[in-house]
Amino acid sequence: MKVIVVANWKMNPPSVSEAKRLFAATKKLSLARKNIVFMVAPPALYVRELAALARTGLQVGVQHAHYESEGAHTGDISIDQAKDAKASFLLIGHAERRALGETNADINRKLLVALEKGMTPILCVGEDKRTIAGEYFDTVKTQLRAALSGVPTHKLSRIYIAYEPVWAIGATTAMKPRDMHEMSIFIRKTLVEQFGEAAHTVSVLYGGAVDGTNAPSMLSEGDVRGFLVGRSSVDVQKLKDLVASL
Ligand code: PGA
């Protein structure tokens, strides 16, 4: 099965010429590595231009979009506009958007609209912190249940779930593969309760401080299909190291 690398560029790089260079480097890696599917989420301003350079095995998407298709939403973009720019996927519920006030209800609306409009949703979930009592499982369950409410079972296979513990995003070390394995099982179990056997068609990704040193063990022991990558996706050397490790 192909490994999925979702590149979340966040608010980088500072100019379209640098974005094109970074995209060209990513494209070169995608041409060399047919066993990896690259999904690049650049800042929205760069999407149309980069999507025109995409190819099989290299998709372009958006980091955020509103669920309404038009209207008075200053600073937002709609899923229709993202589609018109040839974005094929959408990050939903990233921790940095939740921190700005995005609720589970907003996330659910967005996810349903994305599915309806034929955009691939990448649903991000994850707890802020971990305590010995283990209530982070409840947090993840609540996020999943709410976000996926009303999803038709036959559309479940189109969704990617990116588990990103907030404490690992931007951190120096990633989560331990053994802990990810436990979380993958928990995510599946939660989905099975909600959707039955169709739950097994969903791909689970890991995100948070992913790099070439931790990705291989996460892939072999963490029960994940791939990664949501921040810093290692915008630094060409780090990206090369990551890809070489897979
Ligand atoms: P990071 O970010 O890889 O820089 O930790 C991951 C993310 O926020 O998606």
To test the pocket of ligand 1, the residue of 210, 238, 242 to mutate (highest count of ligand atoms within 8 Å of its CB) is: 210
Q: Is 208 in the pocket of ligand 1 (CB under 6 A)?
A: yes
Q: Whose CA is nearest to atom 1 of ligand 1?
A: 230
Domains and CATH numbers, the chain: 3-238 (3.20.20.70)
Distance 196 CA to ligand 1 centre (A): 31
Rounded mean pLDDT of 145-149? Answer: 98
Is the per-residue pLDDT at 192 higher than 90?
yes
Is the per-residue pLDDT at 132 higher than 90?
no
Is the per-residue pLDDT at 26 higher than 90?
yes
Q: What is the pLDDT of residues 58-85, one digit of tens each?
A: 999 999 999 999 999 999 999 999 999 9
Residue 201's CB: how many other CB atoms inside 10 A? 15
Q: How confident is the model at residue 92 (pLDDT cuts 50, 70, 90)?
A: very high
Is the per-residue pLDDT at 133 higher than 90?
no
**Which residues lie across from 123 on neighbouring strands?**
92, 161
To test the pocket of ligand 1, the residue of 214, 228, 238, 239 to mutate (highest count of ligand atoms within 8 Å of its CB) is: 228
Counting from 1 in the atom list of ligand 1, the atom nearest the Cα of 8 is 9
Distance 214 CA to ligand 1 centre (A): 13
Q: Whose CA is nearest to atom 9 of ligand 1?
A: 230
Counting from 1 in the atom list of ligand 1, the atom nearest the Cα of 124 is 9
Residue 105's CB: how many other CB atoms inside 10 A? 11
pTM of the model: 0.97
Is the per-residue pLDDT at 131 higher than 90?
no
Please check whether residue 238 is in contact with residue 232, taking contact to mean a CB–CB distance below 8 angstroms: yes
Q: Is 230 in the pocket of ligand 1 (CB under 6 A)?
A: yes
Find where tokens 């500072």 sit: 14
∠ at Cα 29 (2, 209), nearest 5°?
75
Q: Is 207 in the pocket of ligand 1 (CB under 6 A)?
A: yes
- Helix, strand, coil percentages (3-state) for the chain, rounded to 5, are 45, 15, 35
Q: How far apart are CA 44 and CA 48, in angstroms?
A: 8
Q: Is 126 in the pocket of ligand 1 (CB under 6 A)?
A: no
Find where tokens 């559309």 sit: 155
